[in-house]
Amino acid sequence: MREMGEIWLALEIGNSRLHWALFIGETLYSAWDTDHIAESVIQQLAKCQTLDHLLLAISPPHQKIREENTSSSPSSSSSPSSPSSPSSPSSPPPLLVASVVPSQTAIWQTYPNIRVITLDQVSLKGVYPTLGIDRALALWGAGKMWGFPMLVIDAGTALTFTAADANQCLVGGAILPGLGLQFATLGQQTEQLPLVEMQNFPSLPPRFALNTTGAIQSGVIYTILAGIKDFIEAWLQLFPNRKIAIKGGDRTLLLNYLQALYPEITVRLIVEPNLIFWGMREIVMGDE
Ligand SMILES: Nc1ncnc2c1ncn2[C@@H]1O[C@H](COP(=O)(O)OP(=O)(O)OP(=O)(O)O)[C@@H](O)[C@H]1O
Ligand SMILES: CC(C)(CO)[C@@H](O)C(=O)NCCC(=O)O
Ligand SMILES: [K+]
């Protein structure tokens, strides 16, 4: 970034929704999620006169899904709270975009001050050309924050494992359908199976179920948890001093279950929803 205290926005375009962060220089001021935004709204953003207008346009209060204020002085302004101290810019702030949805990236190109992060800008070594930028950035962010070797588990639309060794070189990883996707496919692609809603089971379901919904819950949850445990154990055997971080929309649910089933591995997990933003910050600050 050009100035130390400059306001900039980070946007991660995921397959389910958008993930936003407002930075002042190196400091993450707040982070929130929204649904994908219509092209017509994006085209209006260049005309926003103040930061508050812009924030309101990209995340109207009823649309905002999660907000986390990381600044020490919470602001009273509307959602998401904009920083009160630095003066609002007269033109829209720089926007850093990382996207795994190319059609969505395309409609953001009308934004006046946009920079799209691509894989070649992440200093992670040994990447393959089609590696998702979200996986690369989350791994880079986690490794820079807590050190390498690092394994990142992303419990998002897809559940992914992505690892790098002590030389900051990609070891590799794995991709499987995330929790929501597993329930959705069973409900949609079969004649007799219902769509199971995830919010309805905060605690572990019985392993051996005597009804259809229970059987789906058991099958999806216990095999995902066993899979996560197996990947973690394989990772722990690979390197000394290795770390593990977990992010993604299903992280809290999965952590609660993991804690109940495998407390000894759960304590090793670094839980951090903002890994991709730490990765983006590394790239922005590296340019100075
Ligand atoms: N309000 C919500 N809206 C959508 N998904 C949610 C919400 N709260 C929790 N989730 C869970 O989050 C998961 C999606 O995770 P996330 O939002 O991290 O995915 P994503 O948008 O694909 O992002 P990424 O590409 O970074 O994984 C879904 O499986 C869903 O169960
Ligand atoms: C796996 C997802 C969908 C996770 O968001 C994304 O990282 C992606 O589209 N990756 C491309 C394929 C790969 O990472 O090998
Ligand atoms: K596809």
pLDDT tens-place string over residues 111-160: 999 999 999 999 999 999 999 999 999 999 999 999 999 999 999 999 99
87 is in an annotated binding site: no
Ligand closest in space to the Cα of 247: 1
So what's the pLDDT on residue 77? 36
Annotation-wise, does 53 bind a ligand? no
Nearest to 214 by CA among 200, 229, 227: 200
Task: State how far the alpha carbon of 28 is from the alpha carbons of 15, 71, 169, in Å.
Answer: 23, 8, 27
pLDDT given at position 91: 77
Is the pLDDT at 74 greater than 50, yes or no? no
Q: ipTM, 2 decimals?
A: 0.95
Residue 169 has pLDDT above 50, yes or no: yes
Give yes or no for a contact between 13 and 106, defined as CB atoms under 8 angstroms apart.
no
Q: Measured over all CA atoms, what is the biggest interatomic distance in the chain, rounded to whole angstroms?
A: 62
Pocket mutation for ligand 1, best pick of 13, 17, 36, 105 (most atoms within 8 Å of C-beta): 17
Helix, strand, or coil here: 203? coil
Q: Which long-range contacts (CB under 8 A, 24 or more apart) does 209-217 make?
A: 216/183, 216/186
Confidence class of residue 68 from pLDDT cuts 50, 70 and 90? confident
Q: Taking 70 as the threshold, does the pLDDT of residue 235 lie above it?
A: yes
Strands (E), the chain: 7-13, 18-24, 27-34, 66-69, 95-99, 114-116, 150-155, 158-164, 170-177, 243-247, 269-271
Q: Strand pairing partners for 245?
A: 152, 270
Mean pLDDT, the chain, whole residue set: 90
Minimum mean pLDDT among 52-56, 57-61, 95-99, 212-216: which range? 57-61
Residues that are catalytic: 134
Ligand 2 atom with the shortest distance to the CA of 14: 5
Q: What pLDDT, on a 0 to 100 scale, did the predictor assign at position 90?
A: 64
Q: From the CB of 156, is ligand 1 less than 6 Å away?
A: yes
Give me the amino acid identity at 8: W
Closest CA to 51 of 89, 22, 77, 3: 89
